[in-house]
Amino acid sequence: MKFLNTVVSAIALTTAAVSSSIVLSEPAAAQETNIGAETRYGTEDVAGVEIFFREAGDPTKPTLVLLHGFPASSHQYRELLRELGDDYYLIAPDYPGFGASEFRDIDEYEYSFDNIANTIDAFLEQRGITKFSLFIQDYGAPIGMRIATRHPERIQSLIVQNGNLYEEGLNEETWAPIMELWQSGLGNTALKEQIAASVFSLEGLKWQYTHGTRNPDAILPDNWLLDYRAFSRPGQHEMQLQLFYDYRNNVAKYPEWQAYLREHQPPALIVWAKNDAFFPEPGAQGFQRDLNDVDYNILDTGHFALEEDGDYIATKIRTFLYERGIR
């Protein structure tokens, strides 16, 4: 738990209608930040795995479950928790092996999207969270959709920030090495080393946060520095490569998740970064085909849109939820 305590300390210190709204240039100067409620930190033992989480707000208020992407952790939601904690209860867990959650050896825990979804589903059950809006970004989409299809009655709405459910939402150029891994398998050592050298380096992790942003110099370096420290632990590269390989099973489930959208029609707020190198705008457009109630927004930023457009997204969430009676 030494790593957990160190990271927690570091984090704490570093602080049927379709509407369209398109942000194609840098927003006007942000208004004074609304400081909602203090962020609290904790851990929950889920079947012997310590899951770290951040939470803010009153648990009796409407709940937002925030599921993070790659290569991040709940740290990506740090400002959103502060801004929305006055009117909502927000909770953001770190997946097993990510952020400040426990990293078990790959022989002790199955690092697959199925199993991580099982763990996060059990985490929510143990925390008594049975009705919520679901914020999904990147890895949060396949994990969140497994939970949503298992418990459709629990989902009040979806908030989607480059959480892809459509084949056209995969950029085949940037996904090419991983798609090759899907074909060749985890026994392709040379390919795995190539991917690891590119993606898991400090520069590679920094690129994940700065590519496509309007002002790369304004992106908080803590993001990739914390990720790099986490990814530098023995066994991390192999674990992450297993998840890259397993991602092919997410693509196979896209038709199932699209059918869930068509059948259950959760209202959806789309805040999609158009400069995301991995999940381009056609992934956002798919939601318009399958859902009747979509608030559709395309943002001029990169993969982690909250880094540049956090104030805009927080305001959109408030309005979106209020207009749908989630208050």
Asked whether residue 142 is domain-assigned, the answer is: yes
**pLDDT, tens digit, 9 for 90 and up, residues 222-248:** 999 999 999 999 999 999 999 999 999
- Spatial distance between the Cα atoms of 89 and 87, rounded to a whole number of angstroms: 7
Asked whether residue 161 is domain-assigned, the answer is: yes
Residue 141: the pLDDT is: 99
**pLDDT, tens digit, 9 for 90 and up, residues 53-68:** 999 999 999 999 999 9
Confidence of residue 37 (pLDDT cuts 50, 70, 90): confident
Q: Helix or strand or coil: residue 115?
A: helix
Q: How many domains does the chain have?
A: 1
Active site residue: 68, 75, 237, 303, which one? 303
Number of neighbours of residue 114 by Cβ within 10 angstroms:
14
Confidence of residue 213 (pLDDT cuts 50, 70, 90): very high
Residue 275: the pLDDT is: 98
Cβ(291)–Cβ(180) below 8 Å: no
**pLDDT, tens digit, 9 for 90 and up, residues 17-32:** 333 343 433 333 333 3
Question: What CATH number is attached to the domain comprising 283?
Answer: 3.40.50.1820
pLDDT (mean) for 283-293: 98
Asked whether residue 314 is domain-assigned, the answer is: yes
pLDDT (mean) for 72-82: 98
Domain enclosing residue 278, as ranges: 2-171+253-323
- Spatial distance between the Cα atoms of 302 and 164, rounded to a whole number of angstroms: 15
pLDDT (mean) for 272-296: 98
Asked whether residue 127 is domain-assigned, the answer is: yes
Is 14 a residue whose pLDDT tops 70?
A: no
- Spatial distance between the Cα atoms of 226 and 129, rounded to a whole number of angstroms: 28
Q: Hey, which bits of the chain come out as E strands?
A: 18-23, 40-46, 49-56, 63-67, 89-93, 132-136, 155-160, 268-273, 294-299
Asked whether residue 201 is domain-assigned, the answer is: no
Residue 18: the pLDDT is: 35
pLDDT (mean) for 316-322: 98
Asked whether residue 21 is domain-assigned, the answer is: yes
Asked whether residue 244 is domain-assigned, the answer is: no
pLDDT (mean) for 252-273: 98
Annotated catalytic, 303? yes
Asked whether residue 115 is domain-assigned, the answer is: yes
Average pLDDT for the chain? 91
